[in-house]
Amino acid sequence: MSFNTISRVLVALIALATPIQSQSQPDFSGTWALDSPPAAEAPVAITVKQVLVRTNFRGEPIAPLFRQIVITRAGRTESYDIGAIGGSMSGIVGGPMSPLRTHQRVAWEEQVLVIETGSYTGGARETGDWTERREAWSIDSDGRLRLEISTRGAGIPRSASTLIYVKVPSFGPRACLWICRMAPM
């Protein structure tokens, strides 16, 4: 047997022996419509795009499956790197620093995607004028998006709410035009 033949056989055996990993976290991609009673400032629709980055040489997903999540709600788009912990300090180069500092953490906790954001003006978190928001994203047993939101901060009461969203079917632009024409005015 030639070296090339042996190499090909070894590559094929390794490929067959490599376990195919299934998706361990839910995919929130799509457009979701509010199905629960509206809470204060709750968007009636959310559009989500999760970016799949890593695949093996056969194109199959490998963990971690999702690297980024892009959320559009209430006219604003947010982009988060999953697994990232970070923050910022604002100011002008060579000028005075703004006292506002921000922080964020986006991570999977089992089957729940947790997005934590906050800001503070003191020397450390939860000092000065500060706020924190925690969102826990999950899919319930009925396939609905469950969004648990809690907020707290200096001088504001602690709040918590749970919003339930249902996935809006994607029909494409032609189907939308047809549905819109058929809907009573």
What is the structure's pLDDT at 61?
Answer: 61
What is the structure's pLDDT at 183?
Answer: 40
**pLDDT above 60: residue 80:** yes
> Given CA atoms 124, 127, 131, 134 in this order, what sign does their dihedral have?
positive
Model confidence at 185, pLDDT cuts 50, 70, 90, reads very low
In order of their start, the domains of the chain are: 22-182 (2.40.128.20)
What is the structure's pLDDT at 46?
Answer: 86
CA distances from residue 86 to 67, 111, 149, 152, 170 in whole angstroms, order as listed: 15, 22, 20, 19, 34
**pLDDT above 50: residue 182:** no
**pLDDT above 50: residue 86:** yes
Model confidence at 21, pLDDT cuts 50, 70, 90, reads very low
Model pTM greater than 0.75? no
Residue that has been written with the tokens 């988060």 in this structure = 80
Residues 96-107: tens digit of each pLDDT:
666 788 899 998
Model confidence at 159, pLDDT cuts 50, 70, 90, reads very high
DSSP readout, the chain? --HHHHHHHHHHHHHHHSPPPPP-S----EEEEE-SPPPTT--SEEEEEEEE--B-TTS-B-SS-EEEEEEEETTEEEEEETT-EEEEEEE-TTSPEEEEEEEEEEEEETTEEEEEEEEESSSSTTSSS-EEEEEEEEE-TTS-EEEEEEEEETTEEEEEEEEEEEEEP---HHHHHHHHHHS--
**pLDDT above 70: residue 94:** no
State the chain's mean pLDDT as an integer.
75
Rounded-to-integer distance, Cα 147 and Cα 144, Å = 10
Residues 107-143: tens digit of each pLDDT:
889 999 999 999 998 888 888 899 999 999 999 999 9
